[in-house]
Amino acid sequence: MTSRSDPGAPSRPADHIDSAEPDPGEASVNQPKLGVVGWLRFAWRQLTSMRTALLLLLLLAIAAVPGSLVPQRSSDPNGVTQYFDDNPTLAPILDGFQMFDVYTSAWFSAVYLLLFVSLIGCIIPRTKHHFEALRARPPRTPARLGRLAGYTERTAPEGIDAETAIATATTQLRQAGYRVERYEQRGVLSVSAERGYLRETGNLVFHTALLGVLVAVGFGGGFGFSGQRVIVEGQTFVNTLAAYDSFNPGRFFDDTRLQPYSLSLEELDAVYETENRKAFGQPIDFTAHVTVEGQGEESTDRTVKVNEPLYTHGTDVYLLGNGYAPTITVRNADGEVVFTDSVPFLPQDANLTSIGVVKVPDGMDEQLGMVGFFYPTQETLDTGAYASTYPDLVYPVLTLNVYQGDLGINEGKPTSVYTLDPSTMEQLTGGDTGVDSIELMPGETTELPNGLGTVTFENASPDASEGDYSQSVPRFASFDIHHDPTQIWVLVFAVLILAGLLVSLFVPRRRMWVKALERPDGRIALEYAALARGEDPTLEDAVSAFADKHAGPADDAK
């Protein structure tokens, strides 16, 4: 039922359950002193033992836990910033232990690299041994089958001699997928058969493919890139380094590999639930209609959806976010346009209350900054505060707080387009100024305070009927653009892992023997027995099934 030790399998770690039991006396014998080589060999044997692999596996599981308890820079950079703010004393200590980069940390890497070294140390000798086993003949039939698993005896039908019985057994075993070898030991005919070599093949494929995944992931990170870009409806993005809002290249990435193509966002459709009251306003569908044009190519219309990325020109384009980009125009006191643009406002909640910043560096006496709130469907709460109650454009309102002074961008210092540093500026509206914030609906224009000029919230569809704001504000799409040359290899290795696993766990590896003994009465007694090599729950059934097939049902005497 369970596997037994098999002295003929030296390829496995010494403490594998299928390896030979160590001689208990051996350990107590005085061992000679180990030299450097001896120590290295000892260390290698320890590292490649089953016990070490098992402990490293458990260690890997434990080492992965902290990464789920503390925010990680890789998946949640804002969470890390927040954590530093909330725990100013604890966070630097944790950071010292690389707790915010667990999966690239020295200690996590050490565990999995040791595990993989142990794995390599295990699979190389096993592969070698397996190749030899594939060419080897099934071993000699043991002298006494009676002690082996599933042992059963049958009497051959009258008139069948030993030669015929063994010959048919050999044929039947071969047909059943066994590799067979006939033996004649002291005049006794027998056949030795072995099957299930695929089990070990699957095992080796599984472990090698794990290594393959690790290597592919490592290389993929090195040669690929990922970038982000926000595109407002009507705008075009060209796949060049400068066009990305943020860009994370791999270690070996070379920007000449970027294929220049352009991607224009024609329209972003957003559909929200309107019927189910329990889910009112829940997003149902986002579809970005884009046109793609490569060098010297016709432009083609394509779509990008949340679960349907666009694969084009060696890059994968994902729609990961969207929101509103109100078009705002600022004129100075002379009526000259000093700023006009669709400014992406970042959504803050499910109903798309959004925050954005307008920076006017030139054209006025002093630099002007505005912090805006956009409510696609504005409602006034009991407290007097504004809120959005629905994510689509039903009653869009834009409020702006105006700041005057130094934007802090003159020294060429890079600053975020989504934040305004008010420390060197004077607030003119909202807050404690006593002046109401500027409040606009699409198409409206109002005076800036102190006669600085005017600000306009442009209506994107001025011809729409009265009260229809559904197209009045442009939307933006936030695209992630990736290139990962080894992704396909990760998939290939993953499939190999699964296939190897299935084969190695479900194909039974077993040996079976049939022996023909001549009885004094001249009839032939047939002996059947088998040996499991690895987990084999159906071994005994297999022996009796084969015996039934070969010599008929069991003798009643038994």
Q: Kindly state the smallest distance separating residue 253's Cβ from another protein, in Å.
A: 16
C-beta closer to another protein: residue 50 or 238: 50
65 is an interface residue for another protein by CB under 8 A: yes
Pick from 336, 537, 549, 555: which binds another protein (CB under 8 A)? 537
Stretch that binds another protein, among 31-39, 133-141, 410-418, 533-541 (CB under 8 A): 533-541
Task: In whole angstroms, give the CA distance from residue 173 to residue 166.
Answer: 10
Pick from 9, 45, 47, 57: which binds another protein (CB under 8 A)? 57
Pick from 33, 186, 251, 278: which binds another protein (CB under 8 A)? 278
| Amino acid at residue number 279 | A
C-beta closer to another protein: residue 17 or 545: 17
309 is an interface residue for another protein by CB under 8 A: yes
Spatial contact of 403 and 426, defined as CB atoms under 8 Å apart = yes
Among 124, 126, 118, 117, which Cα is nearest to 18's? 126
58 is an interface residue for another protein by CB under 8 A: yes
Stretch that binds another protein, among 84-92, 305-313, 323-331, 332-340 (CB under 8 A): 305-313
Phi, psi of 160 (to 5 degrees): -95, 125
DSSP string, 109-164: HHHHHHHHHHHHHHHHHHHHHHHHHHHSPPPPPPS-GGGSEEEEEEEPPTT--HHH
4 is an interface residue for another protein by CB under 8 A: no
- Give all strands of the β-sheet with 236-238 in edge-to-edge order: 236-238, 261-272, 283-294, 300-305
Residues from 337 through 366 that contact another protein (CB under 8 A): none
Q: Kindly state the smallest distance separating residue 10's Cβ from another protein, in Å.
A: 15
DSSP string, 240-286: SGGG-SEEEE-TT--GGG---EEEEEEEEEEEE--S-GGGTT-EEEE
Q: Kindly state the smallest distance separating residue 261's Cβ from another protein, in Å.
A: 18
> Residues touching another protein: how many (CB under 8 A)?
66
Q: Kindly state the smallest distance separating residue 168's Cβ from another protein, in Å.
A: 23
Q: Kindly state the smallest distance separating residue 297's Cβ from another protein, in Å.
A: 25
Spatial contact of 501 and 210, defined as CB atoms under 8 Å apart = no
Other Cβ atoms less than 10 A from the Cβ of 168: the count is 17
Residues from 67 through 106 that contact another protein (CB under 8 A): 67-69, 71-72, 74-76, 79, 102-103
Q: Kindly state the smallest distance separating residue 217's Cβ from another protein, in Å.
A: 8
Spell out the residues 6+ positions from residue 124 whose beta carbon is closer than 8 angstroms to its own. Answer: none
Residues from 152 through 181 that contact another protein (CB under 8 A): 152
C-beta closer to another protein: residue 65 or 557: 65
Task: In whole angstroms, give the CA distance from residue 507 to residue 164.
Answer: 30
Q: Kindly state the smallest distance separating residue 117's Cβ from another protein, in Å.
A: 16
245 is an interface residue for another protein by CB under 8 A: no
Residue reference for tokens 């005017």: 454
Pick from 18, 95, 293, 341: which binds another protein (CB under 8 A)? 18
316 is an interface residue for another protein by CB under 8 A: yes
Beta-carbon-side half-sphere exposure of residue 206 (alpha carbons within 13 Å): 15
Pick from 40, 136, 502, 545: which binds another protein (CB under 8 A)? 502
Burial of 137 per CB tally in 10 Å (0-12, 13-18, 19+) = exposed
Q: Please, what is the Cα angle at 363 between 358 and 368, to 5 degrees? A: 35
C-beta closer to another protein: residue 60 or 409: 60
3-state SS assignment for residue 80: helix
Residue reference for tokens 């407290």: 383
273 is an interface residue for another protein by CB under 8 A: yes
54 is an interface residue for another protein by CB under 8 A: yes
Alpha carbon of residue 447 to chain centroid: 53
Task: In whole angstroms, give the CA distance from residue 466 to residue 464.
Answer: 7
C-beta closer to another protein: residue 430 or 500: 500
- Interaction site with another protein (CB under 8 A): 1-2, 15-19, 21, 50-51, 53-54, 57-58, 60-61, 64-65, 67-69, 71-72, 74-76, 79, 102-103, 150-152, 217, 226, 273, 276, 278-279, 282-286, 305-309, 316, 318, 320, 480, 482, 487, 490-491, 494-495, 497-498, 501-502, 505, 535, 537, 540
